Amino acid sequence: MCGIAGKLDFRGPVDPSAIYAMCAAMEHRGPNDRGVHAEDGVALGMQRLSIIDVAGGHQPIYNEDRSIVVVMNGEIYNFNELRSELLRRGHSFETHTDTEVIVHLYEDHGEDMVHHLRGMFAFAVWDSRRRVLFCARDRVGKKPLFWCRRGGRFWFASEMYALLRDPEVPAELNPAAIDAYLAVQYVPHPMSAFRDVHKLPPASTMTVTEGGQAIRRYWELDYTDKLEGVSEPELVERLRSLLDDATRARLISEVPLGAFLSGGIDSSAVVAYMSRHMTEPVKTFSIGFPDEAYDELAYARMAAERFSTDHHEFQVEPHALEIMPALARHYGEPYADPSCIPSFYLAQLTSRHVTVALNGDGGDESFAGYGRYISNAMAARFAWLPAALRKQGPRIARLIGDGPRDRSTRSRGGRLLRAMAMDAPELYAMWMSAFTNERRERLLEPDFRAQIPGPTAERIITAAWHGAQATDRIDRMLAVDIETYLPADLLVKMDIATMAYSVEARSPFLDHHVMEFAASLPVSQKLRATTGKRLLKTALRGIVPDDILDRPKMGFGVPLERWFREDLRELPADILLDRDARQRGYLRAAEVERLIAEHRSGGADHSLRLWVLLQLEMWHREVVDARHATAEAPAA
C-alpha cells in the first residue's frame, strides 16, 4: 500500500523535485520508504507502506531490461499464483512483492493484463520503448487516481492535495462539481473540484501518449444473467465459500492485522471468517458515541465475545470536530459524509495496534442492505395512482414542511409525498441528496448557478441508472450505488481515513467474485418485502449472533443534529457567516442564516446540510486559499 505520483512532459525535461514534493505530501500513505524513477521527460514516485516483502519490495519496480517501470498503490491478492505462472513463462523476479507481477503481466498481455488481477490497485506503468504511460484502477475503485493534462504535460497522483503540490497544475474551480457535491456530499467521478483535474473511473485503464489519452472500461456487473432454479441451500453454500475465500485471501501480510467491527452484519461476518483462519485472536476495533441513538458498541462487544477477539473501543465526543481542517486537507476536495469523522478516529485507534484492517464495506450495495431500497420499492406502488394526483405530492410536502429531524414521521412522510411525482432515477437521487435541485436553486448565488450546466449529480445518477445492465428496479439501484455512491463516497472515506494513519483497509465483500455472485442472485434472494440481505442473513445464521442478524440497520451515524443545537451551537454561524465565507460567491447568506436559525430552534433538522456547507467552506480555506497563498508567496 502506498501513494503514487508522476509527471510526464512529451516535449521537454521533467524536474524530479516536483515528484519529491508530491511524494512528501503523501508521506502518511507510505512512511516506510520513498522511491523515484527519473528519465528524459518522465518522473515517477511512490511512498511505501511496507506489508508484503517488507525487506525487498522497494518501488519503483522494473522488468528484466528496465525498459518497463511501475509504481503501484494497493494489493494484488492472487500475486503468488500469477508469479508462479510468469516464472513458468520465463520471467525472472528480483523481489517477492506483489507489485513485480505488474511489469511482467504488462509485457505478456499489454492492456488486457488487468483481467488477470484480483485485488485493489491503482498503478502506472511507463513503457520507455513505446513512450507510453499505462494506468489502471481496480474494478470497484478502492484505490484512487487523480490526473491532469495540459498540452504535452501530464500529472497523476493518489491524492488531490499531492497533485496540487506542483504549482504548474491548474486549480480553477469547477462549479458543476460544487453543485454535485451539494447534492450528494461528494464530487462524482470522473470530475473533480477543479476543472482540469480528473479522476480515473473504477474498472478503467488509461493509455497516455504524446497525442492524448484514451480511457477504456474493462469490467462491469451484469444483473441480467440470474441463477434461476438453484436451490437456496446450494446458494447459501456458494456464498459461504466465496466469503470464506475472499477473507482468507486478504489475510496475506507480513505485518500485524485486525478488523474494524461496527456490530453490524457485514463486519461481524468478516471477523467470523477471519477467526477461522488466524491462529491468534483477531484484534478488533470499534467506535461509539455517548448518544445511545448512535452507539453500536453493545453489538460490537457481542460479536467480539462470540469470536473471542482482542477488542478495542473509542468514544467520539463533540470536540471531535476539531479535525475538520485535517479532513479538508486529506480529502483535497469537498467531502461531507459525516461518518468520515468516526472513521478518522477509528483509523487512529487502529494504527496503534495493527497496519492492516479488514472491514465490511460493500455488503449493503451487493445484498440490498439500505432502507432506501425498500423505500424505493414501496414508492413504485404509487404508479397506479392517476398522474394528476401523484403530482400533488410535492405541493402537499411543502405545506407540511420539514420535520424536526430527518428520521421523524413528518420528514419521512414528506419524502414519500415528493416521491409520488418522480420517476425511478429522480427518486433515487432524492434519497441521496442533502440539497435537492430545488434547495440548491434557493441556496446558490445566481451568478454562480449560471455557470452550472443543469443539475450535475442528478444527470450522473440518471445516466448510471439507464446504463446499468439490469432490468429489475432494485438491481438498478444496486448497480447505481456500485457505480456512484460506493466508489465516490464510501471507498473514498475509507481510503483517506485509513491512509491518513498509515493503515491499509481490505474489504472481502468487495472481492469481484463475491460481487458477481450477488449480482446473479434473483432479487427475491436479496430483498423481500421489508427484509434486505435475505440470503446473506440466511448464510450467516448460526455463524453471526442472531441479535446482530435480526436488529434494524443503524448505519455509521453521527449526532450532528444535537451537536449543532447544543454543544456546537455557535459553530455553523461562526464559520459560515464570517466575512471570508460570505465573499466566496457561492451561497446566499440569507439562506444560510435561515438554515442555521431553523435548526437551532428545532423547527427542522438541517444538520446534514450545515455539515455539507461547513466542509465546503473548510475545504476552501485549507486547500484553495492555501494553494493561492503558496502561489503568491515571495520566493525565499
Query: Given this model, what pLDDT does residue 417 score?
Result: 67
Work out the burial of residue 348: count CB atoms within 10 Å of its CB; fewer than 13 is exposed, 13-18 middle, 19 or more buried.
Answer: middle
- Check if the beta carbon of residue 416 is closer than 8 Å to that of residue 408: no
For 470-506, the DSSP string reads --SHHHHHHHHIIIIIIIIIIHHHHHHHHHHTT-EEE
Query: Given this model, what pLDDT does residue 399 score?
Result: 67
Give the start-to-end residue ranges of the domains of the chain.
2-217, 232-366+478-550, 559-636
Q: State the average pLDDT over residues 603-619.
A: 96
Please indicate whether residue 252 or residue 411 has the higher confidence score (pLDDT). Answer: 252
Identity at 180, one-letter amino acid code: A
Q: State the average pLDDT over residues 180-198.
A: 97
Q: How confident is the model at residue 413 (pLDDT cuts 50, 70, 90)?
A: low
**What are the residues whose beta carbons fall under 8 Å from the beta carbon of 153, sequence distance 6 or more?**
7, 8, 9, 10, 11, 168
Reply yes or no on whether the pLDDT at 635 is more than 80.
no
Q: How far is CA 345 from CA 75, 137, 301, 566, 584, in A?
A: 24, 27, 18, 22, 31
- Cell numbers standing for residue 207: 493509455
The model carries a pTM of: 0.93
User: How does DSSP classify residue 208?
Assistant: E
Please indicate whether residue 44 or residue 253 has the higher confidence score (pLDDT). Answer: 44
Quote the CA–CA distance of 394 and 372 in Å, as a whole number.
Answer: 19
Residue 403, sorted as left (phi over 0), alpha (psi -120 to 50) or beta, turns out to be beta
Query: Given this model, what pLDDT does residue 633 score?
Result: 47
- Check if the beta carbon of residue 347 is closer than 8 Å to that of residue 471: no
Quote the CA–CA distance of 518 and 534 in Å, as a whole number.
Answer: 11
- Check if the beta carbon of residue 614 is closer than 8 Å to that of residue 324: yes
Over residues 38-85, the pLDDT tens digits come to: 999 999 999 988 887 677 788 899 999 999 999 999 999 999 999 999
| Catalytic (active-site) positions | 2
The widest CA-to-CA distance across the chain, in whole angstroms, is 73
The share of the chain scoring above pLDDT 70, in percent, equals 92
Q: State the average pLDDT over residues 579-596.
A: 95
Reply yes or no on whether the pLDDT at 554 is more than 60.
yes
Q: State the average pLDDT over residues 192-196.
A: 98
Identity at 98, one-letter amino acid code: D
Q: How confident is the model at residue 425 (pLDDT cuts 50, 70, 90)?
A: confident
Q: State the average pLDDT over residues 447-459.
A: 94
Over residues 356-377, the pLDDT tens digits come to: 999 999 999 999 999 888 877 7
Q: State the average pLDDT over residues 282-296.
A: 87
Q: State the average pLDDT over residues 326-352.
A: 95
Reply yes or no on whether the pLDDT at 168 is more than 90.
yes
Q: State the average pLDDT over residues 143-148.
A: 98
Reply yes or no on whether the pLDDT at 583 is more than 90.
yes
- Cell numbers standing for residue 331: 480529502
Q: State the average pLDDT over residues 150-157.
A: 96
Assign 529 to helix, strand or coil.
coil
Mean residue pLDDT across the chain: 92
The second-level CATH assignment, the architecture, of 2-217 is 4-Layer Sandwich (3.60)
Q: How far is CA 73 from CA 420, 486, 579, in A?
A: 45, 19, 41
Quote the CA–CA distance of 157 and 71 in Å, as a whole number.
Answer: 11
Query: Given this model, what pLDDT does residue 291 score?
Result: 79
Query: Given this model, what pLDDT does residue 14 score?
Result: 95
**What are the residues whose beta carbons fall under 8 Å from the beta carbon of 342, sequence distance 6 or more?**
287, 289, 316, 320, 556, 558
Reply yes or no on whether the pLDDT at 479 is more than 70.
yes
Reply yes or no on whether the pLDDT at 636 is more than 50.
no
Q: How many CB atoms lie within 10 A of CB 230?
A: 14
The second-level CATH assignment, the architecture, of 232-366+478-550 is 3-Layer(aba) Sandwich (3.40)
Reply yes or no on whether the pLDDT at 411 is more than 80.
no
Quote the CA–CA distance of 610 and 596 in Å, as a whole number.
Answer: 7
Pick from 622, 500, 490: nearest CA to 193? 622
Quote the CA–CA distance of 123 and 157 in Å, as a whole number.
Answer: 10
Please indicate whether residue 111 or residue 294 has the higher confidence score (pLDDT). Answer: 111
- Check if the beta carbon of residue 418 is closer than 8 Å to that of residue 397: yes
- Cell numbers standing for residue 131: 513512450
To which residue does cell 430545488 refer?
Answer: 438
Query: Given this model, what pLDDT does residue 634 score?
Result: 42
